[in-house]
C-alpha cells in the first residue's frame, strides 16, 4: 500500500525504512530538507511540502504523522484537513496526550488513529510495539503497515476507541520510568553496599532467568560493560517527562495509588 509520512526524525525514519522493507510505497516529507533526502536515499518518494505529499497520494489517503506532540500535531492537521474526507486515515504516532487525541479524532475529517509507539532505536531492527486507538475499520485498513512497523502481527493491537492508544502508551511510560528508577536505586545500593560487586555480572545473572529480567536491565548490563562499575556522576533520579507527569495526574484523578 502507499503511505504518506510526515516527520522524519529518528523514529519517523525507522517507520519509513521498515515500511519500505515490507514492500510498501512511502511518500515522505519533513521541514528538514536533509531528512527528506535521507528518506529518498532509502527509497521513499520525496515531497517538498505537505501539498506536494497530498498530490502524490492516491484518492484514499493513508498518512502517518511522526511529529512532536502538542502544537506541531495541530498545525499539521490544520494544513491537512481541507484535503481529507471520511475515506482517509491519519495516524498520530507521537506521544500525544490522550485527551488531545480524542479532541482531534472528533474534529479531523479523516478517520484518526492514535498510535502509541514503543521500542526506541532498537525498533529499527526489531520493530516497534504499537498501541492503537480509533475506528476498527481504519485500524484494519492500516494493518499491513502496522505489521511492517511493529515486530509483526503480535506487535500491535487496537486498544479501543479514540484516545485509548495514547492512554495505554502514557501508562506504559509511567511504568517505564518507575522501572528505571527502581533499577537505579537497586544498583546504587549494590554499589555503596557491603560487598565489592561487579555490576555487569549482577545484571548478567539477573537477565538470565531472574524475575526482574528485562530489556531495560539488558541496557544496564551493556552500560556497565562499556562504562565500568563506577557510577560517578550518574544522576540518582529518572526524569519522567510529560508522559510520566500525565500518568501520575491520571492516577490521582482515578484515585489509584
Among candidates 170, 174, 183, 173, which has minimal Cα distance to 214? 183
Q: Which of 169, 188, 221, 250 is catalytic?
A: 169
Separation CA 132–CA 224 (nearest Å)? 35
Residue keyed to cell 533520579: 237
- Classify each residue of 167-184 as buried b or exposed e, where b means 16 or more C-beta atoms within 10 Å of its C-beta: bbbbbbbbebbeebeebb
Q: Which of 141, 176, 200, 221 is catalytic?
A: 176
Whether residue 61 lies in the annotated active site: no
Whether residue 176 lies in the annotated active site: yes
Among candidates 106, 118, 2, 109, which has minimal Cα distance to 53? 2
Ramachandran region of residue 7, left (φ > 0), alpha (ψ -120 to 50) or beta? left
> Which residues are annotated as catalytic?
169, 176
Amino acid at each position: 500500500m502507499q503511505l504518506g509520512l510526515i516527520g522524519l526524525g529518528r523514529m519517523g525514519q525507522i517507520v519509513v525504512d521498515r515500511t519500505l522493507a515490507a514492500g510498501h510505497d512511502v511518500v515522505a516529507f519533513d521541514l528538514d530538507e536533509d531528512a527528506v533526502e535521507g528518506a529518498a536515499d532509502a527509497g521513499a518518494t520525496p515531497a517538498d511540502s505537505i501539498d506536494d505529499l497530498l498530490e502524490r497520494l492516491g484518492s484514499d489517503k493513508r498518512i502517518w504523522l511522526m511529529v512532536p506532540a502538542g502544537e506541531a500535531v495541530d498545525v499539521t492537521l490544520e494544513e491537512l484537513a481541507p484535503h481529507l474526507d471520511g475515506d482517509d486515515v491519519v495516524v498520530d504516532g507521537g506521544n500525544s496526550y490522550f485527551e488531545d487525541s480524542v479532541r482531534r479524532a472528533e474534529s479531523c475529517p479523516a478517520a484518526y488513529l492514535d498510535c502509541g509507539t514503543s521500542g526506541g532505536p532498537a525498533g529499527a531492527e526489531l520493530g516497534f510495539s504499537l498501541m492503537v486507538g480509533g475506528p476498527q475499520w481504519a485500524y484494519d485498513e492500516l494493518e499491513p503497515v502496522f505489521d511492517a512497523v511493529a515486530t509483526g502481527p503480535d506487535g500491535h493491537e487496537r486498544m479501543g476507541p479514540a484516545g485509548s492508544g495514547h492512554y495505554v502508551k502514557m501508562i506504559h511510560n509511567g511504568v517505564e520510568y518507575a522501572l528505571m528508577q527502581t533499577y537505579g536505586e537497586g544498583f546504587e545500593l549494590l554499589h555503596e553496599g557491603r560487598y565489592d560487586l561487579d555490576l555487569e555480572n549482577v545484571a548478567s545473572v539477573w537477565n538470565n532467568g531472574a524475575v526482574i529480567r528485562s530489556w531495560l536491565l539488558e541496557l544496564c548490563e551493556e552500560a556497565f560493560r562499556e562504562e565500568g562499575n563506577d557510577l560517578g556522576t550518574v544522576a540518582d533520579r529518572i526524569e519522567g517527562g510529560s508522559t510520566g507527569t500525565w500518568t501520575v495526574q491520571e492516577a490521582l484523578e482515578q484515585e489509584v495509588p
